[in-house]
Structure 1
C-alpha cells in the first residue's frame, strides 16, 4: 500500500508535522484547493497526531476544507485511533464544507494493512452528515455499526481481512445515495470471516437504490462471490463490477458467463486472477466484443501452475 495522492479530485497535501520528512516545507495552500493529510512519524513521533491536528485548526481556514486524510499515527500497529476519531468528531462543526474523508492512509512501510489498529468509525459518519465519500483502511478491531447517511455516495473499506460483523453492519445500513461500494474482503489468515450469505443484502441492492459500482474483491472466496453475483438482481443496474485482486478461477468466471447478461457493464475488473488463457479469451470475445472494458491484468495462473497446489492461491493484499 502507498500514500494517497488524490482525494475528491484534489491533490493531497501534507500538513507539516515535527520531524515528518514527507511534510512539505512550503507555504500552506488555500484551504479548499487540496486534500489535507495529517500524519506523524510512524515510530517515535516528536508530537502526537492530535497535537498536529490542534495546530492545523489554528493555521488553516477549516470552513473551506473539502477533503481530509487521516494519515499514520505513532505506533499504529499498537495504538488505537479512538482519540483521533474523538478529535475529529469534536471539531466537526468547524468543517461545514467537508465532503470527503479517508481514515488511516497508512502505507505498508509505516504499518502493514492487517496490523493497523482500528476501532469504531461510525461516529465519523454521524458527525459529518454532508460527507459524500468515506474510506477507511485496516480491519483489525474495525467497527462500522449500522447507520443511515443521506449524502454518502462512495464507501470504501480496505482490509487484508474483513470481519463478517462489519460486512453485516454495512449491509444493515441505509445509504440512499450510495453509488460506489468498495469492500476488500481479504483472507481468513488476517481476519476475514464473511461467507457469501453475508453479502446477500448487497446483491439484492434493495437498500442501495443508486448503486452503480460494486467491488467485492481482494477475496479468497472470489469464485463463490462470482457465483452469487451471476444471478444477483443488483448486477442489472451496475456500470462497474469489480472482482479483482482475489483468487478468481475459471469456475467463477464460468458462472459469470453462464449467468445473467453482463454486456451492459462499462467495466468488468478481474485483475489479479487465476484464469486460464482459454477463459481469458472467452471473456474478451464474449464481453469485450460487446463494448465492455474487461481488465485481465496480472494473471497469476502460471505462478500457481508451477506450484501445483490450488490452495496456494492468494489475494493481492493480505498482511
Structure 2
C-alpha cells in the first residue's frame, strides 16, 4: 500500500489551487477543500504559491485546507516554515474547520521520509478546528487542550511513542474519531500497549466513537488489549487494519468482550488463516457488523523464517 492524494476531505472535494497563468472560474471558497502544493512544472516556490492562494481566494470563507508537496527537496526542506505560515495567517481563516498537512504521494516522497512537526501549535492557533490530519514520520505531539476537535488522523510508517503519549495526555472532550497508524520499528514506530492504555481506558476521550490503532507490528498485542478494553462498548466502529494481525489476535477478539454492537470492524490487510477469518464472519456478520477482511496476506518466507509486514512502512 502506498500513500495517495486525497480526493475528498471534511466531506468536500479536494480542489488544487490553479497555477498562476490559469484562467476560468474558481469554485466558491467554501465549496471545496483547497489544496495548496508545490508545482513540479512551475517556477514558483511554496511561499509564492501560498501568497497567491491568500491573494486569489476569499480565505475568510474557506472551511477546509490541505497542504500538499511543499518543495522539490521535501526530504531536506522541513515542514516547520510551512506550518508556521498557516499559523501566522490564522486571522484570515475564521471559518477554517479542517486541515491536513503533507498530502504527498509516495512518488513525491515516501511517507517515512516526511519529517512531521508538532501539530499542537496549530490547534492552539485554530480553536474552532474540527478535523486535523497529517502524513509522515510523527515524532512529537505536545499535550494540548482543544474543545472543538472531533477527528484526528495521523498517518505514519513509524510513529514515535511520544506522539501517542502526547495525544493521550491531551484534553479533547469533543474527539469522536481517533486514527493512528503506528507503523514499523524500523521507521521509528516504538509504541507499546502500555502507551495506549489511557486511550483504551474509555475515560480519556468521552465522546470517542471510532478508534483506529492500525499499521502496527504489534497488532496481535493491541487486539488482545482491545478485547478487554473499557473503551470498546462505547465505540461504533473499530479499525485494527493494515498491520500484522494473525490468528493470535483474532482469537483474542473472539474470546474477549462482545463486538456485535459495532457497526463496522475493519481488519483489512491481515495474516489470518481461512478458519479464523470464517469464525469472525460467523460471529459478527449475523449481528449486522460490517466486517472488512479484505487483503488476506501471506507471510514472506526467506532464510528459514516467515516475515510479516505492515501495509505502510517506508
Q: 1:257 to 1:310 in 2, by over 3 A?
A: farther
Q: Structure 1, unaligned stretches of length 5 or more?
A: none
- After superposition, where does 1:240-251 map in structure 2 within 5 Å? 240-251=237-248
| Structure 1 SS opposite 2:122 | helix
Shift of 1:69: 0.1
Q: Contact (CA 8 Å) 1:18, 1:46: kept in 2 or not?
A: no
Matches of 2:195 and 2:116, distance apart in 1 = 22
Q: Contact (CA 8 Å) 2:300, 2:306: kept in 1 or not?
A: no
Over residues 81-102 of structure 1, what are the superposed CA-to-partner deviations in whole Å (9 max), with x where a residue is unaligned? 1111111111101111111100
| Structure 1 SS opposite 2:203 | coil
Shift of 1:55: 1.4
Runs of 4+ in structure 1 deviating by more than 3 angstroms, as ranges, are: 305-311
The equivalent residue for 1:3 is 5
| Structure 2 SS opposite 1:52 | helix
Please tell me whether residue 196 in structure 1 is matched to residue 198 in structure 2: no
- After superposition, where does 1:144-293 map in structure 2 within 5 Å? 144-293=141-290
Of 49, 54, 65, 1:57 maps to 54
The equivalent residue for 2:85 is 87
Q: Structure 2, unaligned stretches of length 5 or more?
A: none
Q: Contact (CA 8 Å) 2:246, 2:271: kept in 1 or not?
A: yes
RMSD over aligned Cα atoms: 1.7
Shift of 1:37: 0.4
Matches of 2:120 and 2:45, distance apart in 1 = 23
Deviates more, 1:162-171 or 1:10-19: 10-19
The equivalent residue for 2:119 is 121
Matches of 1:26 and 1:136, distance apart in 2 = 31
Q: Contact (CA 8 Å) 1:226, 1:253: kept in 2 or not?
A: yes
User: How high is the TM-score relative to the length of structure 1?
Assistant: 0.94
Q: 1:188 to 1:65 in 2, by over 3 A?
A: same
Over residues 87-133 of structure 1, what are the superposed CA-to-partner deviations in whole Å (9 max), with x where a residue is unaligned? 11111011111111001101111100000122222111111111110
The equivalent residue for 1:14 is 16
The equivalent residue for 2:38 is 40
User: How high is the TM-score relative to the length of structure 2?
Assistant: 0.95
Q: Contact (CA 8 Å) 1:79, 1:117: kept in 2 or not?
A: no
Higher helix share: 1
Over residues 253-289 of structure 1, what are the superposed CA-to-partner deviations in whole Å (9 max), with x where a residue is unaligned? 1001111111100111100000000001100001111
Q: 1:138 to 1:283 in 2, by over 3 A?
A: same
How many matched pairs?
A: 311
